[in-house]
Chains A and B, each alone.
Chain A
């Protein structure tokens, strides 16, 4: 009995220590976002702020253009999300319902896209975007982000469509529905839960994407949040308070999203783990 108690205490200790490792750097960041340099460096490096400086947030919001980056990130993430999921929904529907050699190999090719490192297509994309005069437009990122979401979305949706009985369409057709009516009125509403999972997963990856944004966007006014963040944290690296404030502001949307939807996020991650 006592041996089991010791074992349990050890387990809690282990989990507790790692929870501190996992969370304390974030708490530390939130703390220093409200401190002056003097407090961070000398008087109070670890604890909560003694003289909170909300002004750091005001400076981050104004001097660092963070609102512009925010707007760009939301616009690009949302547009890529919409285009990516819509295309994947329609494509996968056909592939799942009409099984021929062509549709099967199309599906395999798209899913294989998952294994292509982004670096492989980076250089040609830079050149293509330039020659189409899309550099420094939002489209330079929207379309590639949509394309990058296809493999995962097709894989997940395929399994889901396959589980829907064909009788759904049969009865719709008997009642005189067209192909489009049957799809948008009968099939699509059945997909709500999986679309939700996909939305959350893809939003987070679009929101946090860095490499492509780095090579495809150069104009400051079009930068996304991760990109803008790097630019100004580099520039203001000696002012820790406002830098911390900008980090907190950039993280809040995804942290809140995660807190509210942690089960869906978990589902999405589990699905993504099956991708190999």
Chain B
């Protein structure tokens, strides 16, 4: 310990205590509590009864689980392809091409991200509206007999929701990737241009390897999102109609409010944690041997 601070032990503790206390009370203790309570039957008010693995058995045989996992998988894949695909493309264009109005495009692409999820969800409810929505009206204006009930059909529903979510967050990933690409030394590109490399070759052989750590972080963020997804779905369809647009988080919410099954809700929460951690570990494992040194 630096000699400067040794005389001030009490002050050090005063500085650290507030954060540690709040973090314990809001994050650490609830996390442990959720884990323990996932093995009980509990209504949140009365004494909990220990029931072993019953909640988990119920969860793994629930008919909602299959559709939830399927929806989450669709959500994750769509979101990742849209946000990282388009984000990478635009970041590459904005960093490496000589065009005007870069700042405008960057700001325009990012703007939806600053909006509240409630605003985005409500806006897209009206965009998807069966009679007067933007999409169906546009189709009608183009003379197409092609009306869709976007939000009330099984697979279409979850895709409509994830499209709205992707629209909102694409700029976020683009901006992060943009910053990473900006840090790639220009000399690499200059050297390869002299060697006659095409833009695609530069993208594949210079950009991608050098931004790999950032790309990995973005991938984990986007891909785990489908399994955490809640807000947009809750506002747009509440998981319905029926269980068409269920995800794990919607299952958790429904067992908490309405059914008062707090133990079961915690079991669902633990499954979400396990899936997210597993995705992270798998990505780390797979990319471990792909690190490129320059």
List the interface of chain A (C-beta within 8 A of B).
8, 11-12, 14-15, 18-19, 21-23, 25-26, 28-29, 32, 40-41, 45-46, 83, 86-88, 90-91, 93-95, 97-100, 106, 109-110, 113, 115-128, 130, 143-144, 146-148, 150, 154, 166, 169-170, 173, 179-180, 183, 204, 207-208, 210-211, 214-215, 225-227, 229-230, 233, 240, 243-244, 247, 250-251, 254-255, 257-259, 262, 265-266, 269-270, 272-276
Contacts and interface: CB of A to CB of B under 8 A. Distances in A.
Contacts of A122: 252, 256, 265, 269
Interface stretch (B20-28, B68-76, B151-159, B200-208): B20-28
B116 A254 contact: yes
B105 interface: yes
A120 B176 contact: no
A11 B93 contact: yes
Given A29-B123, A116-B273, A148-B26, 13 more contacts: A22-B171, A91-B19, A93-B15, A94-B16, A119-B252, A120-B31, A121-B27, A123-B266, A124-B30, A233-B118, A251-B116, A269-B176, A274-B214
Q: Sorted from nearest, which 8 A-B pairs have the closest CB atoms? A: A273-B176, A276-B217, A124-B30, A147-B26, A91-B19, A121-B30, A87-B19, A226-B118
A97 B5 contact: yes
Given A123-B37, A230-B235, A91 B112 contact: no
Contacts of A166: 2, 4
Contact of B114 (A87, A244, A257, A270): A257
Counting contact residues on chain B (CB < 8 A from A), the size range is 35 or more
The interface centre, meaning the residue of B4, B115, B118, B249 with most chain A CB atoms within 10 A of its CB, is: B118
Contacts of B132: 40-41, 45, 240
Contacts of A214: 234
A229 B119 contact: yes
B33 interface: yes
A121 B115 contact: no
Given A87-B19, A230-B122, A23 B117 contact: no
B269 A119 contact: yes
Given A117-B273, A276-B220, A210 B176 contact: no
Given A166-B4, A207-B116, A254-B114, A18 B37 contact: no
B11 interface: yes
B106 to A, nearest CB: 8
Contact of B115 (A208, A211, A276): A208
B127 A25 contact: yes
A265 B114 contact: yes
B185 interface: no
B179 A251 contact: no
Contacts of A117: 224, 228, 269, 272-273, 276
A23 B118 contact: no
A215 B27 CA distance: 16
B112 A124 contact: no
Contacts of B121: 230
B191 interface: no
Nearest to A15: B105
Given A90-B16, A116-B27, A270-B179, A251 B115 contact: yes
Contact of A11 (B1, B97, B115): B97
B31 A116 contact: yes
B217 A28 contact: no
Nearest to B35: A120
Given A90-B18, A273-B214, A45 B137 contact: yes
A83 B26 CA distance: 14
B176 A270 contact: yes
B277 interface: yes
Nearest to B134: A28
B284 to A, nearest CB: 10
A211 B31 contact: no
A5 to B, nearest CB: 12
B44 A120 contact: no
A147 B26 CA distance: 7
B27 A147 contact: yes
Contacts of A258: 107, 110-111, 114
A22 B167 contact: yes
B15 A18 contact: no
19 contacts: A15-B93, A15-B99, A15-B105, A22-B111, A26-B115, A86-B18, A91-B19, A94-B15, A94-B16, A116-B273, A117-B224, A124-B37, A124-B266, A179-B5, A183-B15, A225-B116, A230-B122, A233-B122, A276-B217
